[in-house]
Amino acid sequence: MPLVTAVIPVYNHEKYVVESIRSILNQTYRNIELIVLNDGSKDRSHEMVLTLVEECKQRFVRFEYINRENIGLSATLNQALAWARGEYFSALASDDVALPEKIEVLVDALEAKGNTYAAAFGNAWFIDDAGQRVRLDRDGLASDSACGRGCDNFLDFYTQGRGVNYNGDEFGTYASLISGNYLPAMSNVVRTKAILDVGGWTPGNIVEDWEMWLKICKKFKFVYVDRPVALYRWHETNTARTIPSGLLYSSFLLVHKEKQFCKSRNLNLLWRNAHNTLAYDLLGDGRVLFKNKLAILKMTPKLSLLRHVIKQYADELRRKAHRIRVMSS
């Protein structure tokens, strides 16, 4: 049983952090070290973590708790990586929950695949603020999981409309990831050596998980285990809901950096579509600062963007025409 380093970065999750830590305490896999880092929380997260310190010391091969000033998520993950002794690394946000067999199932999958595979992923159910299963519509609006509408799991939600078959051979490939991340950050186990090989996380980057998968998949493969292994909490303080413009701009900059790699792999069309989609969304976002929009225009080929805008407009007209036909039939 290889040692697994489980990591929980904590930030202002006093309501959820105990459940998150306890979900690692309850793992069926035994050989785990746990590193919890409180990244300058302004609420009572520190006090909540302290209630579980003694239990963690008894359960884990090694337990570390670091309580310090805020340095950001990417820098926090790098700190955990420097402390990690495990062959495998598995991070869990302090508002998410790992299902009991998560680490056992994913480690078994990686052990079976061998060293050409760097990461194993499962799926994740959506839960709300109170821990109840929910479904999300295309706009991210939640409803009761029994309603039958929308997506009740992470991979269905983030691959809808993209033509990515996450049960197929394209899972985790660079070509499937360049147009956007769909891999669940709460449902994976990664070889620690692979993270070190690509230089860890970039401090200050707020799309840290997407960047990490893009870097790793250039050298290694990913395996998918078709079962939920975690619960992803959808609530008002999710990063995707509190700073959507920041995520969009960071995503644009990340894809822009991938231009030369895509060119070297004959992925120009995929890169251009991904780049122009993000540019189009940013230019239409009233929350993005004017100086950023000027920078976006400078980094985007004008003719290519114009073609993309026309295509987007034509696609929207076709969707409206289809809806009218359906309503009138």
Residue 322's pLDDT band (boundaries 50, 70, 90)? low
Q: Could you tell me which of 154, 155, 31, 18 has the C-alpha nearest to residue 90?
A: 31
Residue 303's pLDDT band (boundaries 50, 70, 90)? low
**β-pair type (142-144, 134-136):** antiparallel
| Total Cβ atoms within 10 A of residue 100 | 15
The single-letter DSSP state of residue 153 is B
Residue extents of the structural domains in the chain: 4-242, 244-328
Q: What is the mean pLDDT of the chain?
A: 91
Q: Which amino acid is at 202?
A: T
Task: State the pLDDT at residue 302.
Answer: 64
Query: Which segments within 168-289 are labelled E, that is strand?
Result: 188-191, 221-233
Region of 151 (left: φ > 0; alpha: ψ -120 to 50; beta: rest) is: beta
Q: Which stretches within 8-114 are classed as H helix? A: 17-25, 45-50, 53-59, 73-83, 102-113
pLDDT at residue 65 tops 90: yes
Task: State the pLDDT at residue 181.
Answer: 96
Distance CA 16, CA 131 (A): 9
pLDDT tens-digit readout, 232-276: 999 877 766 555 788 999 999 999 999 999 999 999 999 998 998
Rg (Cα) of the chain, in Å, rounded? 21
Distance CA 120, CA 111 (A): 10
Task: State the pLDDT at residue 284.
Answer: 81
pLDDT at residue 6 tops 60: yes
Tokens of 235: 């609530």
Task: State the pLDDT at residue 240.
Answer: 64
Task: State the pLDDT at residue 124.
Answer: 98
Architecture of domain 4-242: Alpha-Beta Complex (3.90)
Token pair 């955990």: residue: 80
pLDDT at residue 306 tops 80: no
